[in-house]
Structure 1
Amino acid sequence: MEIGISRCSTNRLFAFHFGSTGPRNFQIFSKASAGYSSSGSRVVYLESAFVHSFRRKPVRSYFLRGGFKGQVSLGDRLTSSMAGSDTVSRCSIKRYEEGPLFHHLVTYNDVAYLAGQVASDTSDQTVRGQAQQIFSRIDQLLEMAGTDKSRLLSANVWLKNIEHVAEFNQVWSAWVDPRSKPVRATVEAKLVRPELLVEVQVTAALPRKITPLKTDLAAAAVGPYHQGVLLENGMIYVSGCIGLDPKTGMLVDDTVEGQAKQALSNMKHILSAAGVTPERVTKTLVLLKNIEDFERVNHIYKSFFSSGTYPSRSCFAVKELPKGALVEVECVAQQE
């Protein structure tokens, strides 16, 4: 990944990610340190959590090579110190109902965007009649996207004659969910065809699809919960795993090492059910019955992430764990 760099009047450094179509986004770097190489070139080290607008995984640090003593050249390249690390693919954009000039519906990032809708039968020259047709069409498009008018976020209304707003509002009030009214703007405008009296455009939130994860290769849940869940955006949440044998439902032994290995094995199989490996884990939580077991569990935990890339982690000692377990591990992961 290559990034252009420049300096503004406030002496803060900005980095721009360049794609095939030019710069896509930028990051202000809050920390910088500089030194000189044996050849006299100046090296500026920047630390930040640069996150590309289509990538959820932060790249933690960068360095800039270029310039000589006393100068940093604008436009020098910034190269990621984590080049080759995994990145998260961009969310899919789905398009529906293609017309000659545009699609009538596009969904992206949990939002449905509808094109402006007008009446198909303009022989009805009343705002009421045309608005009813429009709302029926909007309902169809929202259903196609997997949502409904109770999840409306915004609406734009264009009226050929603003004096008809009261007539339009009567139809609107009969259609919109009174508990979930969106934000709305209403203006008078000249529409694309003279027979059109009103046009309406809306956006709506999409419900997040949650897929339960289940595998016989990991111990079954010991309560009213799933082994894990997968969200539509690729996020994976794995419930706390303890050292239960999947076949017997009993703890594998009474040692923290044995239970830690089995807990992590259970977690690995649940991740596999979602199609990922431990290297896709972004956050873990480790619960210990005895904090003195911290180093012993760390030794087992370290071997679980064979690539040497570790997720963020929290570790606590607790009074009791389910089934009398000595250790419990849960995690959050992300699909490709």
Structure 2
Amino acid sequence: MKSSAIEAIETKLAPKPVGPYNQAVLVENWLYCSGQIALEPSTGVMIGNGNIEEETRQVLKNLMAVVEAAGGENSNVIRTTIFLTDLNDFAKVNAIYAETFGQTVSPARACVEVSNLPKGGKIEIDCIAWLGNKK
């Protein structure tokens, strides 16, 4: 594959990467989004003060901003991975997740508990989206 077939996706509506990676990479019609945590894009400050509902809403807002920057929407997301520092938050996260993905075919998904996340976050979500029907 030629490197020109790979396009970095970047938007100011999501936090800048905190390392040597892109917010997302578009390869043909496939969008691979890096994990998002609850950073406020313009300040880089964590949102929620440890409140899982507030963090989840910010994470999904950041993630969807990246998908939209590539020309997609929530219905284009086909796979997500949710990383939680406490699986006891699973039901609360599911309720908020359904606000973003409940009106369409819900993406395939994995959810795992991890010992720690960047910046002390309680949740991180990444995704893969298919933009084949992109205009």
State the TM-score, normalizing by the size of structure 2: 0.93
C-alpha distance after superposition, 1:172-215 (max 9, x if no partner): xxxxxxxxxxxxxxxxxxxxxxxxxxxxxxxxxx5251100100
C-alpha distance after superposition, 1:68-114 (max 9, x if no partner): xxxxxxxxxxxxxxxxxxxxxxxxxxxxxxxxxxxxxxxxxxxxxxx
Q: How far, CA to CA, are the matches of 1:250 and 1:310 in structure 2?
A: 30
More strand by share: 1
Decide which structure has the larger Cα Rg and report it. Answer: 1
Pairwise CA RMSD: 1.1
Q: How far, CA to CA, are the matches of 1:324 and 1:239 in structure 2?
A: 17
Matched residue count: 130
More helix by share: 2
Question: Are positions 1:235 and 2:15 aligned together?
Answer: no
Question: Are positions 1:283 and 2:70 aligned together?
Answer: no
Structure 1 segments unaligned to the other structure (5+ residues): 1-205
Question: Are positions 1:274 and 2:67 aligned together?
Answer: no
The equivalent of 1:320 in structure 2 is 116
Q: Helix, strand or coil: the match of 1:309?
A: coil
Q: How far, CA to CA, are the matches of 1:299 and 1:307 in structure 2?
A: 13
Structure 2 segments unaligned to the other structure (5+ residues): none
The equivalent of 2:15 in structure 1 is 219
Q: How far, CA to CA, are the matches of 2:13 and 2:77 in structure 1?
A: 19
Q: How far, CA to CA, are the matches of 2:128 and 2:64 in structure 1?
A: 12
Shift of 1:308: 3.6
Shift of 1:223: 1.2
Within the candidate set 85, 92, 95, 1:299 is matched to 95
State the TM-score, normalizing by the size of structure 1: 0.38
The equivalent of 1:259 in structure 2 is 55
Q: Helix, strand or coil: the match of 1:244?
A: coil
Q: Report percent identity of matched pairs.
A: 37
Q: How far, CA to CA, are the matches of 1:222 and 1:278 in structure 2?
A: 24
Moved segments of 4+, more than 3 Å: none
